[in-house]
Structure 1
Amino acid sequence: MSIDAATFARLREIADQLPQVPGIGAIEIADGQIVMMMSPVKRHEYAIFRLARQLNAQLPDTHSGYIAYAGADLEDSGLGRLRRPDLMVFPEATLRGEGPALLPQEVLLVVEIVSKSNPENDYENKVRDYAAMGIPHYLLVDPRDGTGIVHSEPKYASREKFTFGDQVTVGPWTIDTSELMTYGPGTT
């Protein structure tokens, strides 16, 4: 569901004014609502670190000047979406630019690490949103069961499933998923 530009602008203004709340990792806007995301667990962050390291080692050869980076927002005001992917690949120079968020046309890859608390968001809503934004590749990693899916254009019609331990091709990059860990007991 898309929302009109004025409604999105108002939601964005409210989201930007929300105070920092302990345990809240990020704020997103989707389906006309502000969504407060829980702070991730250590193994979630470890997966991001390992994936970023692998991608950043390959990017000089495939896309000079690009980085794999966690911690930036992704905004599509036309769709009424503000997302905070766990990891994105985009030109490093965009971090020096104006504006609060990256634009979809700047991003080659988004990565989401599935949480135990809300897996449907990554498997359904974000697949829909990232495809609509035109992001060429979406890597979905699920530490709950040690699996994942590589979504590729057009509109993520290509979906390649994998199991932790596989060598996975994501666009021009190869990811060694043996470096990833499943969630331990008691993680959320």
Structure 2
Amino acid sequence: MTVTSNEERQSSPQYRALRDTVDSMQHRVPGKLEITKEGIVHDMMSPGRPHEFTAGLVSRRLERLMPEGTWAFTGTPDVEVEPEGIRRHPDIMVIPLEDMEGEGSFDPRTLIAAIEIVSRSNPDNDWIGKMRDYPLLGIPVYAVFDPRTGSGAVMTDIHSTPDGPRYATRKDFVYGEDVTIAEWTISTEGLPRYA
């Protein structure tokens, strides 16, 4: 078995090739491209109105409660840890304003929380892939809203396992209940569902 140092992993030609491929294709293909340890994930469909409406409602409900200088951000760029070979794009990033300054991808360790609205076309990306990748990236809170089922979950408490870092605590919710993300509790009343 060959052990690769962080410095060698940072300059991994395979990861750079994947990133260059994603960057060159992103504006020419429908949907969203992300990089995981397994390779490129392509969510074929661009997010529809219920997806984007949910992201907007959750973001605004959080921002009403958060202190000045903390955002529930729904734009780009991605979060990336090159040594791990992972670049993801959360639907909502709860992040301090000062950590948004600069160029390039956000450092995922600066996020307070990552929030995903489950895609109708690729739900495993949010429920399995990102559930694996976000604790590996050091994101302390991961919340999932699933418009297919009108339910979701909030994962916290990263701990070590033989398969790598994982979330130890999962709190499930159904739409209509209040949900706590980090230190803010919002209503899920009236969130849209997929038809």
Q: Does 1:80 align with 2:85?
A: yes
Contiguous gaps of at least 5 residues in structure 2: 1-8, 159-165
Q: 1:34 corresponds to which residue?
A: 40
**Deviation of 1:23 (Å):** 2.8
AA aligned to 1:177 is: T
Q: In structure 2, how many angstroms separate the alpha carbons of the residues matched to 1:120 and 1:147?
A: 15
Alpha carbons 1:71, 1:84 under 8 Å: kept: no
Q: What whole-Å deviation, never above 9, does each CA across 1:103-153 have from its counterpart, x for those lacking one?
A: 111111101111121111111110010011111100101110100001011
Q: In structure 1, how many angstroms separate the alpha carbons of the residues matched to 2:96 and 2:125?
A: 26
AA aligned to 1:93 is: E
Contiguous gaps of at least 5 residues in structure 1: none
TM-score (norm 1): 0.87
Q: 1:143 corresponds to which residue?
A: 147
**Deviation of 1:19 (Å):** 5.5
Q: Among the aligned pairs, what percent are the same residue?
A: 38
Cα 1:19–1:144 change in 2 (3 A) is closer
Q: In structure 2, how many angstroms separate the alpha carbons of the residues matched to 1:19 and 1:144?
A: 26
Q: Does 1:179 align with 2:190?
A: yes
Q: What whole-Å deviation, never above 9, does each CA across 1:149-181 have from its counterpart, x for those lacking one?
A: 010112321100000000111220102001312
AA aligned to 1:30 is: T
Q: 1:109 corresponds to which residue?
A: 113
Q: In structure 1, how many angstroms separate the alpha carbons of the residues matched to 2:185 and 2:171?
A: 13
Q: Does 1:55 align with 2:62?
A: yes
Q: 1:160 corresponds to which residue?
A: 171
Q: 1:20 corresponds to which residue?
A: 27
Q: In structure 2, how many angstroms separate the alpha carbons of the residues matched to 1:44 and 1:92?
A: 25
Please give the root-mean-square deviation of Cα atoms over the aligned residues, in Å: 1.7
AA aligned to 2:167 is: Y
State which of 34, 51, 63 in structure 2 corresponds to 1:44.
51
**Deviation of 1:18 (Å):** 2.1
**Deviation of 1:91 (Å):** 1.7
Cα 1:28–1:19 change in 2 (3 A) is closer
Q: In structure 1, how many angstroms separate the alpha carbons of the residues matched to 2:22 and 2:127?
A: 24
Alpha carbons 2:26, 2:33 under 8 Å: kept: no
**Deviation of 1:32 (Å):** 4.2
AA aligned to 2:83 is: G
Q: In structure 1, how many angstroms separate the alpha carbons of the residues matched to 2:142 and 2:20?
A: 28
AA aligned to 1:118 is: N
AA aligned to 2:40 is: I
State which of 114, 130, 136 in structure 2 corresponds to 1:126.
130
